[in-house]
């Protein structure tokens, strides 16, 4: 198609094209929270970019540097629509819906089969390419979002918390696989170095099952922790996991285990030669660090 032909039509009838195009899309975008004014702004910007790119003599190839502004614009639209909950089809419709508006305007240029091929088909193919670009951009953005969410979930599902002076707790929830267990070990070892903790409580109450690789990773975590001068207490071992560990032949005889996190904390306090005050036991106050306990004791004596 001769770019000049479409450029002239777009320049003369842009308002008509814009209104028809927006009208077609309102039923789709309205249910996703996009206002008609916002949609009109996006469509107008796209048409302005398309007109500008053609005025500069860009080819209909998306890798043409002159086409970069419109490509980047569509990528931004796709990303925005991913975050607003659009489906891939709804996102690609932003471009595809323009065909039913523009092609009838180009039809008078097609006086014959030859002129149809040269005047109309190239522009139709261009819109197809741009529509597929939005589809691909949508998928790329969604993959990024999913990856980021998985990282956030992994971060939240492996919190290493300092619950007392020299005592860390790592409550685990959900299925443990080898990759996640390695992450647990790395975070725990890093936190031990940062806090100079001497005891770490690994609570697996929320873990439904373990396999041989996970059990071996736990053993390696205990060994690595000891190399840093700290001990691990495993709490919350369910009957099912206990049977699995026995059947797997994993030897946990050298590791301190307790039924509950509370029992594990009591053991950790004994190992670090610390204890709850009678007042804390009675009131259920959160544990104080050793320095805070000493300060409170001195305050009480004064």
Where would I find the H helices in 84-177? 88-106, 113-119, 121-157
240 inside domain: yes
Boundary (domain end) residue, out of 149, 170, 193: 149
**Same structural domain, 51 and 18:** yes
pLDDT band at 169 (very low <50, low <70, confident <90, very high): very high
Secondary structure, 3-state, 61-108: CCCCHHHHHHHHHHHHHHHHHHHCCCCHHHHHHHHHHHHHHHHHHHHH
**Same structural domain, 124 and 90:** yes
- Across 161-190, average pLDDT: 84
Tokens of 85: 């909950």
Measure Cα distances from 24 to 19, 27, 96, 147 in Å. Answer: 9, 7, 11, 34
Sign of dihedral through CA atoms 142, 29, 67, 76? negative
Of 117 and 267, more confident = 267
49 inside domain: yes
Of 246 and 294, more confident = 246
**Same structural domain, 172 and 124:** no
Residue 22 DSSP symbol: H
**Same structural domain, 131 and 240:** no
Q: Are 44 and 18 in contact (CB under 8 A)?
A: yes
297 inside domain: no
**Same structural domain, 145 and 195:** no
Distance CA 46, CA 66 (A): 15
Number of domains in the chain: 2
Distance CA 91, CA 137 (A): 10
**Torsion, Cα of 6, 8, 13, 18 (10° steps):** 50
pLDDT tens for 201-231 read 999 888 887 777 778 888 888 889 999 999 9
What are 234's strand-pairing partners? 202, 257
Residue 153 pLDDT exceeds 70: no
298 inside domain: no
**Same structural domain, 115 and 42:** yes
Tokens 């000493």 sit on residue: 294
**Same structural domain, 64 and 93:** yes
Boundary (domain end) residue, out of 149, 175, 195: 149
**Same structural domain, 167 and 53:** no
Of 290 and 117, more confident = 117
Q: Which domain holds residue 171?
A: 161-281
DSSP codes joined into one string, 151-204: HHHHHHHS--EEEETTEEEEEEES---HHHHHHHHHHHHHHHHHHT-SEEEEEE
Residue 298 pLDDT exceeds 60: no
**Same structural domain, 59 and 175:** no
Q: What percent of the chain has pLDDT over 70?
A: 79
The CATH number of whichever domain residue 212 belongs to comes to: 3.30.750.24
Distance CA 2, CA 178 (A): 59
**Same structural domain, 14 and 134:** yes
- Across 41-50, average pLDDT: 91
214 inside domain: yes
pLDDT band at 6 (very low <50, low <70, confident <90, very high): low
What pLDDT shows up at residue 112? 60
Mean pLDDT of the chain: 80
105 inside domain: yes
What pLDDT shows up at residue 64? 75
73 inside domain: yes
What pLDDT shows up at residue 115? 60
**Same structural domain, 95 and 185:** no
290 inside domain: no
Measure Cα distances from 204 to 94, 217, 245, 300, 302 in Å. Answer: 49, 14, 13, 39, 43
**Same structural domain, 226 and 103:** no
Q: What pTM was computed for the model?
A: 0.53
Q: Which of 106-110, 191-195, 253-257 has the highest mean pLDDT?
A: 191-195
- The 3-state DSSP class for residue 38 equals helix
pLDDT tens for 88-125 read 989 998 999 998 888 887 777 666 666 666 667 777 78
């Amino acid at each position: 198609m001769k770019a000049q032909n479409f450029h002239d039509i777009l320049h003369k009838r842009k308002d008509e094209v814009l209104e028809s195009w927006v009208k077609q899309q309102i039923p789709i975008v309205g249910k996703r929270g996009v206002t008609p004014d916002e949609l009109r702004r996006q469509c107008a910007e796209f048409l302005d970019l398309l007109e500008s790119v053609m005025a500069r003599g860009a080819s209909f190839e998306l890798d043409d540097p002159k086409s970069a502004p419109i490509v980047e614009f569509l990528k931004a639209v796709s990303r925005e629509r991913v975050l607003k909950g659009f489906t891939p089809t709804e996102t690609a419709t932003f471009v595809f819906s323009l065909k039913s508006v523009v092609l009838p305007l180009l039809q008078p240029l097609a006086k014959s089969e030859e002129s149809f091929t040269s005047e109309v088909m190239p522009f139709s193919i261009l819109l197809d390419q741009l529509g597929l670009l939005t589809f691909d951009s949508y998928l790329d953005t969604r993959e990024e979002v999913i990856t980021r969410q998985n990282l956030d979930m992994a971060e939240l599902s492996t919190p290493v918390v300092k619950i007392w002076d020299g005592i860390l707790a790592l409550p685990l929830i959900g299925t443990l696989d080898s990759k996640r267990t390695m992450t647990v070990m790395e975070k725990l070892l890093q936190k031990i170095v940062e806090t100079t903790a001497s005891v770490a409580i690994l609570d697996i109450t929320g873990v439904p099952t373990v396999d041989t690789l996970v059990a071996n990773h736990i053993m390696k975590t205990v060994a690595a922790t000891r190399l840093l001068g700290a001990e691990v207490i495993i709490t919350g071992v369910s009957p099912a996991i206990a049977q699995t560990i026995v059947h797997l032949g994993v030897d946990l005889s050298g590791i301190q285990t307790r039924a509950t996190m509370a029992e594990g904390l009591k053991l950790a306090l004994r190992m670090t030669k610390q204890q709850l005050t009678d007042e804390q036991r009675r009131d259920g106050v959160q544990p104080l660090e050793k320095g805070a306990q000493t300060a409170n004791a001195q305050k009480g004596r004064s």
